[in-house]
């Protein structure tokens, strides 16, 4: 499917697309669902078949058949085709985790001597990779405040090649105007990659705003059931093809069964996001008026610094609500322990609501001074809503706040 021009109205993944897109190729035994092709090896009847396949592969990135499991699998390709359709991308590549997608993209797009720009409040492992690993390869970066286009432009150097951003961010849900970011990049002839894990193609399709590559941790909303690890990169063939070739070398592939679970999970993306968007807004509004809550970060609230950008560019604001309990760590932990529906855990985007005291979950290994700089206070709580009933979630928050 072609990427729409950035002048067109932004669109959003529909349930019809989520159910049907990408499942075109493979119907063995007349199976309704895409089969799990559990094999490492694909065989050839004759040497002539092998020669024909080799020639086909030289001219077409997506051959009708496979040769060896590290280079392709029909179940994985079906999941890739569905994600590409949902993102309005020419191509999508599935990898072993969200971090394999982030690191693979940076390794393929950047060479020694080059520089990239990273926006702050990004996924902490992404920052660690930029700070601790890429300098060994002679690749440098500058961190600029998310959404500050003037600071971003000022950080561009002759050797800059890429702007890597995230939106909405974790945990403060900062939102970037993708179109403006793409416009700055175009003027300076730079590539753009966005980690849009928190958005999903239901809330916004970054490629329609002129972004070059969109990255996801499929572990979160896209698979949606807290039962697998995977990542993805979607975009134009000229950018995804080198990434696919490098994936064949690095071996950062996913298993066919995982791809099947992703296909199944993605079918309900629109239904799940509808509920998670609605619960996110209702819970954020409830928390904001509660006297025992000091501050709430949710882009659907007028009090959020990026409310205007979010309203202008996104269909909904997702299911992550971050807030500070009015008190110290002890009070925040008492609140969390009093909750009955959410479980304490480090992830988001699945059907089960999860709650994290971030200073000791996700940021526990970050030195306290750096945690302060990042704004991760002891009483900061991140609530990642699942698909339970909104009113029951709010009633649960209400009873837990009442006892602290
Ligand atoms: C979880 C996450 C990642 C990493 O994904 P994994 O699947 O855990 O490797 C990257 N970016 C964001 C925004 C995330 O939430």
Residue-wise pLDDT tens digits, 270-307: 999 999 999 999 999 999 999 999 999 999 999 999 99
Does 257 share its domain with 276?
no
Nearest to 214, CA basis, from 228, 198, 229, 226: 198
120 found inside a domain: yes
125: phi then psi, degrees, rounded to nearest 5: -65, -30
399 found inside a domain: yes
Mean pLDDT of the region 29-56: 91
32 found inside a domain: no
CA dist 284 and 167 (Å) reads 18
Nearest CA to ligand 1 atom 11: 123
> In angstroms, what is the span from residue 325 Cα to ligand 1's centroid?
26
- Contact assessment for residue 125 and residue 101, using Cβ atoms and an 8 Å cutoff: no
- Contact assessment for residue 178 and residue 150, using Cβ atoms and an 8 Å cutoff: no
Does 282 share its domain with 179?
no
Does 276 share its domain with 248?
no
Position 26 scores a pLDDT of: 57
Tell which one of 217, 252, 262, 356 to mutate to probe ligand 1, the residue whose CB is within 8 A of the most ligand atoms. Answer: 217
**Tokens read off for 317:** 């604001």
Nearest CA to ligand 1 atom 7: 98
CA-219 nearest atom, ligand 1: 7
CA-169 nearest atom, ligand 1: 13
Does 357 share its domain with 390?
yes
Position of tokens 């572990």?
Answer: 219
Which range of residues forms the domain containing residue 350?
Answer: 269-403
pTM for the full predicted model? 0.94
73 found inside a domain: no
Does 251 share its domain with 105?
yes
26 found inside a domain: no
Contacts of 239 (CB under 8 A, 6+ apart): 109, 191, 212, 213
22 found inside a domain: no
Share of the chain above pLDDT 90, in %: 86
Contacts of 372 (CB under 8 A, 6+ apart): none
CATH number of the domain where residue 295 is located:
3.90.1150.10
The predicted-structure confidence for 66-122, as pLDDT tens digits, reads as follows 999 999 999 999 999 999 999 999 999 999 999 999 999 999 999 999 999 999 989
CA dist 1 and 56 (Å) reads 21
- Among 229, 264, 299, give the residue marking a domain's end: 264
Position of tokens 């309005």?
Answer: 88
**Tokens read off for 331:** 């009070």
- Contact assessment for residue 141 and residue 130, using Cβ atoms and an 8 Å cutoff: yes
Does 122 share its domain with 164?
yes
CA end-to-end span of the chain: 53
Nearest to 98, CA basis, from 259, 274, 238, 232: 232
Ligand 1, residues at Cβ distance < 6 Å: 97-99, 102, 123, 166, 170, 195, 197-198, 217, 219-220, 229, 231
CA-101 nearest atom, ligand 1: 9
Nearest CA to ligand 1 atom 4: 98
- Among 264, 296, 321, give the residue marking a domain's end: 264
CATH number of the domain where residue 186 is located:
3.40.640.10
Alpha helices in 156-236 (DSSP H): 178-187, 200-203
Contacts of 298 (CB under 8 A, 6+ apart): 173, 280, 281, 284, 304, 317, 320, 321, 322
The predicted-structure confidence for 151-205, as pLDDT tens digits, reads as follows 999 999 999 999 999 999 999 999 999 999 999 999 999 999 999 999 999 999 9
- Among 233, 264, 295, give the residue marking a domain's end: 264
Does 238 share its domain with 334?
no
CA-100 nearest atom, ligand 1: 9
Does 121 share its domain with 242?
yes
> In angstroms, what is the span from residue 137 Cα to ligand 1's centroid?
23
Does 195 share its domain with 306?
no
Does 126 share its domain with 251?
yes
66 found inside a domain: no
Position 245 scores a pLDDT of: 93
> In angstroms, what is the span from residue 118 Cα to ligand 1's centroid?
16
Does 242 share its domain with 212?
yes
- Report the domain count for the chain: 2
> In angstroms, what is the span from residue 197 Cα to ligand 1's centroid?
7
- Give CA separation, 269 vs 17, 70, 99, 283, 375, in Å: 10, 28, 21, 20, 31
Nearest CA to ligand 1 atom 6: 98
Tell which one of 99, 193, 200 to mutate to probe ligand 1, the residue whose CB is within 8 A of the most ligand atoms. Answer: 99
> In angstroms, what is the span from residue 217 Cα to ligand 1's centroid?
5
3-state DSSP call for residue 140? strand
Does 238 share its domain with 283?
no
One DSSP character per residue, 217-259 reads ETTTTTT-SS----EEEEE-HHHHHHHHHHHHHHT----HHHH
The predicted-structure confidence for 323-372, as pLDDT tens digits, reads as follows 999 999 999 999 999 999 999 999 999 999 999 999 998 888 889 898 98
> In angstroms, what is the span from residue 228 Cα to ligand 1's centroid?
12
Contacts of 385 (CB under 8 A, 6+ apart): 276, 279, 280, 283, 319, 320, 321, 353, 393
CA dist 69 and 248 (Å) reads 9
**Tokens read off for 215:** 């990255």
CA-220 nearest atom, ligand 1: 1
**Tokens read off for 38:** 């559990």
17 found inside a domain: no
> In angstroms, what is the span from residue 347 Cα to ligand 1's centroid?
9
């Amino acid at each position: 499917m072609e990427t729409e021009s950035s002048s067109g109205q932004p669109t959003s993944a529909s349930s019809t697309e989520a159910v049907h897109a990408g499942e075109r190729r493979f119907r063995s035994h007349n199976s309704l669902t895409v089969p799990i092709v559990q094999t490492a090896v694909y065989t050839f009847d004759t040497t002539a078949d092998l020669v024909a396949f080799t020639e086909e592969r030289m001219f077409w990135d997506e051959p009708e058949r496979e040769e060896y499991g590290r280079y392709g699998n029909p179940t994985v390709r079906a999941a890739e085709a569905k994600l590409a359709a949902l993102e309005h991308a020419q191509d999508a590549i599935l990898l072993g985790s969200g971090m394999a997608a982030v690191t693979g993209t940076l390794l393929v797009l950047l060479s020694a001597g080059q520089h990239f720009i990273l926006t702050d409040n990004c996924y902490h492992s992404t920052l660690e990779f930029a700070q601790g690993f890429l300098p060994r390869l002679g690749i440098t970066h500058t961190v600029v405040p998310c959404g500050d286009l003037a600071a971003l432009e000022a950080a561009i150097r002759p050797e800059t090649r890429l702007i890597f951003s995230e939106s909405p961010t974790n945990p403060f849900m900062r939102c970037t105007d993708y179109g403006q970011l793409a416009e700055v990049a175009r003027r300076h002839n730079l590539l753009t990659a966005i980690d849009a894990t928190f958005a999903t193609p239901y809330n916004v399709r970054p490629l329609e705003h002129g972004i070059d590559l969109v990255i996801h941790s499929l572990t979160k909303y896209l698979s949606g059931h807290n039962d697998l690890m995977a990542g993805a990169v979607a975009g134009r063939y000229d950018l995804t093809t080198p990434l696919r070739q490098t994936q064949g070398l690095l071996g950062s592939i996913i298993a066919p069964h995982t791809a099947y679970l992703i296909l199944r999970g993605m079918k309900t993306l629109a239904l799940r996001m509808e509920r998670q968007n609605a619960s996110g807004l209702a819970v954020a509004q409830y928390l904001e008026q509660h006297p025992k809550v000091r501050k709430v970060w949710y882009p659907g609230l007028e009090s959020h610094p990026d409310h205007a950008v979010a309203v202008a560019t996104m269909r909904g604001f997702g299911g992550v609500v971050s807030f500070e309990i009015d008190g110290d760590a002890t009070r925040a932990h008492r609140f969390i322990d009093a909750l009955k529906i959410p479980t304490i855990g480090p992830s988001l985007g699945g059907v089960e609501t999860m709650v994290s005291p971030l200073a000791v979950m996700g940021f526990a290994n970050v030195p306290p001074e750096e945690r302060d700089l990042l704004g991760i206070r002891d009483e900061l709580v991140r609530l990642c809503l699942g698909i339970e009933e909104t009113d029951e979630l709010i009633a649960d928050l209400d009873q837990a706040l009442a006892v602290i």
